[in-house]
Every structure is written in structure tokens, then in C-alpha cells.
Amino acid sequence: MANHEDKPWTVPALADAKRAGRKLAMLTAYDAVFARVLDRNGADLILVGDSLGMVVKGHGSTLPVTVDDIAYHTAAVATGLQRTLLVADLPFQADATPERALDAATRLLQAGAQMVKLEGAGPHKLDVIRFLVEREIPVSAHLGLTPQSVLRFGGFKVQGREERAAAKLREDALAVAEAGASLLVLECVPSSLAQAVTAASPIPTIGIGAGPHCDGQVLVLHDFLGLDSGHRRPKFVKDFLADGGSVAGAVRAYCDAVRDGTFPGPEHAYQ
């Protein structure tokens, strides 16, 4: 594949990794110090997630997060990176129209992101993906449990267990790739469904609570370090600090476990 461990990751290198069967290790970060540790110890991608609303700002959901919040933390994280590819979330309603999404994504790329992530695959979301990609902005899609939809879902629940919902997710995964997305996050879906989506998807999949068969994995920084963020601990979380002995060691242990397929294990997956 085109990327080597000492070379900066690029959007095309993600596709190369999928073709080569090389698993991608992704973590969230929100400041320069943690970004530097992740970058130096093997993380391939960093997400400045709207999860910061819950683990940094202490809210009960991601809905209060603003574009200003994401831009601020993206700029901080970017200063700590040399090789890791930086993805930034479009927060709640920042992608309500293609024009709003373009304004927000432009700010995030100017802050240092190399890709923006948006949730969902409804018709207007596909329009947004196409609109951004046509304007040279790389996009990651996000399907399954989409936290910005928590009010409609009635909580944080596994998605795609019923056949109709699973078929819709498979259809949506192909639709976001067709619209131009370069990456797809699958959150809280049954392992077998994520496996089928990954096999069919022309773009790399990144799982979180989606079993071991995705093309990569992501965890929220605070969960991966075993910190109590005041929220219920999901079953897909593992405390890597307990085994790694230091933050740097935890990052190395996580990246190794993702790449050799030992994380996530059966205990971290939904059926």
C-alpha cells in the first residue's frame, strides 16, 4: 500500500489500506497534548468528535455542540500532528443544508482537518455529501447509531437488528459511497451486519460497537483510557490504559490490537 508508518496519512491512502487488508486505528482527541501522543504512537486517524459535548463539556448528548466548539478543538489537535489524518465532525444541524455544511466544513478544514464527518444518509444528507465532495472537501459518512438522532431513537440503542433496518443500512452504506464519501463509520450495529456492509463497501469502514470485521476501529479517548465521563459505559469499550501502563503504551496496545484483530473481541460486539 502507499502509506508507510512514517509518512503522513492521506485520504487516498485509506483506500489503499482497505485494498491491502491493513486495519485502520482511529481515536478521538480534543487537544494538542493528547493528539501528539496519539500521533507518535501509531494512531492512523484522529477524530475531533462532537462526543466532546459529553466527555469534555459534560452534556447528556452531543446536541449542544457548535461549529465554534469543533473548530476550536480541531485547531488545537492539528498543532500536535505530523502523520495522523485529522477528521472533524459536523455538529448537529451544521449540515442542515448544503450551503451551511460548506460554510462549516470550510472552517474545519481551515482549522486543520483533512476530512469532515456527517451522520445519516437521508436524501438531503446525500445531497450534502455530493455538494462537499464536488467542492474538494473529503467526507466521512456515519451510519447505525447516529448520536445526533438520539431524540428520534429514544436513547442510545443498537441499530439494524431487524431485517428491514439491516437492509436499509446496507442500502445506505452503498448510497453514501456512491455520493462520494471516502470513509464510513458504523456505530452500534450487529457484528454480522457490519461484516456484510464492509464486504460490500467500496470505501473503508470504521467500527465502534460494530464487531471485528470492519476495516478499522475507533474509540472515544476517555473510554479508551478507562475514565469516568459520567455516562453509562458501553459494552464495546475496553480500558487500554490498564494494560498499557501509560497513555503512550495504551495507544500502542490499542493500535496493535486493532491491527492484529484481537480488538474488538466477542465481548465487545452486538449480535
Lookup result for grid cell 455520493:
179
Nearest Cα neighbor of 71 from 28, 94, 119, 104 is 104
E strand spans, the chain: 24-28, 45-48, 85-89, 115-119, 139-144, 183-187, 205-208, 216-219
Q: Are 190 and 147 in contact (CB under 8 A)?
A: no
Nearest Cα neighbor of 29 from 165, 220, 260 is 220
The backbone torsions φ and ψ at residue 25, rounded to the nearest 5 degrees and listed phi first, read -105, 120
- Contacting residues for 122 by C-beta, under 8 A, at least 6 apart: none
Give burial (CB, 10 Å; 0-12/13-18/19+) of 196: middle
- Residue 26's CB is within 10 A of a number of other CB atoms, namely 26
| Cα–Cα distance for residue pair 127/100, rounded to 1 Å | 12
Q: Would residue 187 show up in a list of annotated catalytic residues for this protein?
A: yes
Q: Are 169 and 156 in contact (CB under 8 A)?
A: no
Q: Are 263 and 257 in contact (CB under 8 A)?
A: yes
Nearest Cα neighbor of 11 from 3, 22, 21 is 3
Q: One of 162, 163, 187, 267 is an active-site residue; which one?
A: 187
Task: Name the residues annotated as catalytic.
Answer: 187
